Structure 1
Amino acid sequence: MAITCEEHLDWILEQVRVLVPERLDLVKDFSALHGSVLAQDVAAAHPLPLWDNSAMDGYAVRSADLAAAGGTHPVELEVLGEVAAGSSLDPDIGPGQCVRIMTGAPLPSTADAVVRVEDTQPADGGGQWATQRVRILAAVEPGKDVRRRGEDKQIGAPVAKTGQLLSAAGLSALAAAGIHEVLVRTAPKVAVLITGSELQPIGAALRRGQIPESNSLLIRGLLAEAGIRQVTMERCADEPQAVRQRLAELGATHDAVISTGGVGPGTHDVMRLVLADEPGVRAVRVAVRPGQPQCTGRLSGGAMVFALPGNPVSAAVSFELFVRPALRAMQGSATVQRPVSTARATVGWRGSKGRLQVLPVVFDPKDATACTPAVHASSISHSVGGFGAAEGYALVGAETGDVAAGDSVDVIRVIP
């Protein structure tokens, strides 16, 4: 009897051991940090911004001096000098005075607003900027175009939370907040084991019954897209003792081992036969199409093993539903599954009542809420050509059956 996808994923997540965290430097360890997951909350070490500063290129002024300013009645001010970004100058601005100021420069303590250069005219010659005197063409309120100290984050305010995946933006925010080291769980060490006597290297001459080996590229690419780029790739003959030995060695030196093929009920399905001797691994039929046969669990050597079906789309679907969430869980990620949204089916297709149908789809470039199958619904698992264009998956529930044009379907996007 087949189990549901939810039951299988729940069982997998129960087997996951969260990786030991380590403290890394934002600059020296950037490659490991990008895509890692925070293992503790992080607070701002200083205010953001650090000081009141200008949001525009213009003039730092006392707003009270400009109460009567207008297009036909400009107010003329004396220009004392200039404050550039990074400057430590704090000029004393008196009545009727101002300074040129650049975006990001500290606001002088005696100023309370900034007038954009576009709202001024030099009173002492040509060019855009005044050197001695400037005409202000519009009044400004106190605080106009000023970024206040700490308005983004006060010192001690949370900047990032435990379980957050560190993206480029996240790492930049940490650095801006004065953080130089963080406690994280980096990407798991993953090995990919390729078996299959029919599989030949890409570019090799093919005899009848042989096919190019493409799943290594598929799984390696999916791992890279999941933030895991340092991967051990190995090939192994379809011989039980050889597979058993490689699993023992890889299982002792990696956090996860992924294989494709050899998990069905056939007499030559070597992965299923070998993994039957592993007490922490179970072979199940999952109520999903494609990807029904799954062998998953923990090897005696310590690593999690994911023996996926061999058909490329079945392997990719299995990775998305079961492997990717497990790898995220190993890092302690707060969210292990992609968000699910809805889209409108542009055409109808045959469903798969009684099991979850995971159908590769493309999205309309002019209407992101519309999706079309990338492969024929009756031959999902081996439709490699069409699958190459897929941007996501439609998830059609076991109770739904056929989908009609115009129906709303749940979807996940795998390409932003």
Structure 2
Amino acid sequence: MDTILSETTSQPVAVGRAALPRLCFVGPMLGVNPGWVTTQGEIVAGLLAGEGYPVRSTSSIPARLPRLADTLRSLVAWRGQIDLVIHQVFSGPAFVIADTASALCRLLGLRQIFVLHGGALPEFAAARPGWVRRVMGRAAAIVAPSEYLAHTFSVYPELAARMRVIPNILAIEDYPYRHRPAVAPRLLWMRTFHDWYHPEMAIEVLSLLRQTYPAATLTMGGQEKGLGPAVRELAQRRGLAEAVRFPGFLGPDDKRREFAAHDIYLNTNRVDNMPVSVLEAAAFGLPVVATAVGGVPFLLRHGETGLLVPDGDAAAMSAAVRRLIEEPGLAACLSANGRRLAESCAWQPVKARWQTLFTEVLDHA
């Protein structure tokens, strides 16, 4: 069994004249484990529990097969105490878990909402359209965190009709804002050391930037997923060993410290959807320079809330960083507008969208 976030009874909880549905979040709820990022599913589940919703979640087991077994056991045990199941849907092997769990929910007669995650999901769906359409057809509603993912699935009319856009949540009060009316070449990169996130590009950007700004530095924080040693070796080969720091995984306190100490955020992804890390950087007031891949151009407006460069183009990203350093008015504009973008993802405006969706789904049960 996994987590019960608020006390649950066999009936919906009454609040005034309304009844709050009993929710179950299903997916990789892994943030309770040391060194794992807290997922959006966990964040939403916790916030809804704080609003009085009876909330359960499964599963926090990192290994996929044990996590699937725990999820199925939980759903069977809780079947009489759930009104809505909210699946966190990812591509790759994780999609098998969503398939199996949602098939069980259908057998149990449970209403389901699917929440799409990950910039690789469009390619995954394009390669396996029959499978994806069959699985997603079980959902009463499908939530996309960005217009990008919603647009991608609009090619399937039967799914597009159920699609709703609800952005990822940022606990804005946890991100102290510092306005950057001017910036120094103190660069920050924070993602997972995986090929999708192209961490080597950040090293190449720094190497080019130091030709003009020899004191430029780079901090690269994130979970190790295979590329960390290669990135460190590349920094050595480029003569940047003293200019690059690798603080490892950044927890909440680490983020506040590191973002406060830097001025420009680099997002070098090859694949992306609605990156929370970019929103975090914007919330802290760092101007963002990002590759224009996946959902990033749907999230950031070039020259208004960020600077966009072609995928893999280290020279273009280095030139964009120089612009920020040499054009303080631009840096100030991106800093202020980025904070406003992040504030649009705060809980209060997003909560209303979730509540509307719950009512809509249950009214059509």
Whether TM-score is above 0.5 comes out as no
Hey, which of these two has a bigger chunk of helix by percent?
Answer: 2
Hey, which of these two has a bigger chunk of strand by percent?
Answer: 1
